Structure 1
Amino acid sequence: MPVGPYIADFAARSEKLIVEVDGGHHAEHEAYDEARTHYLKAQGWRVIRFWNNDVLGNLEGVVATIERTLAERPSPSPSRLREGSP
């Protein structure tokens, strides 16, 4: 999914959540991934990462982490009362 100048593995635009699934080659590109994550967070995205072997061997745990992250989404600011409203 294109997000700015990057391609996200999975992105839920309405939730501003990006899920990245990383293989072993990402261990060699930590600085790039950090800069990429910093950019995405600056654009208002939340980014969570999983290793391929976590997805393959612990899918329930990965799904639970995604669900927890979605539940942690801050609720919208309450509407301001108009001046003079009760």
Structure 2
Amino acid sequence: MGNYIVDFYCSNCQVVIEIDGSQHSDQAEYDENRDQYLNSLGLTVIRIPASEVLYRMKGVMDMLYEHPELRERK
């Protein structure tokens, strides 16, 4: 999207899901600029730590299932 690569994109919901590994601790300013750009396109960015995906996948799935931006739109 633009000059950025996103991990997951749901066009129906206009949501970007980012899985943040350890490299993100060294690039906070880059991530903030990236999120601002994606938000300016009308997208919602959901950031999930990689450790949550690796060790607590059910909790991640529950959070995404309940997230207001990913709920079925009526």
Same fold flag (TM > 0.5): yes
Most deviating of 61-70 and 43-52: 61-70
Where structure 2 has 5 or more consecutive residues not aligned to the other structure, the ranges are none
User: Any idea what SS the aligned residue of 1:15 has?
Assistant: coil
2:30 to 29, 32, 49: 32
1:54 is matched with 52
CA distance in 2: counterparts of 1:41 and 1:4, whole angstroms: 12
User: Any idea what SS the aligned residue of 1:47 has?
Assistant: strand
The letter of the residue matching 2:66 is R
2:61 is matched with 63
User: Any idea what SS the aligned residue of 1:44 has?
Assistant: coil
Where structure 1 has 5 or more consecutive residues not aligned to the other structure, the ranges are 77-86
Listed as ranges, the matches of 1:1-86 within 5 Å are 3-69=1-67, 70-71=70-71
- Number of residue equivalences: 72
Matched-pair identity in %: 33
The two structures have a TM-score, normalised by structure 1, of: 0.76
CA distance in 2: counterparts of 1:6 and 1:13, whole angstroms: 16
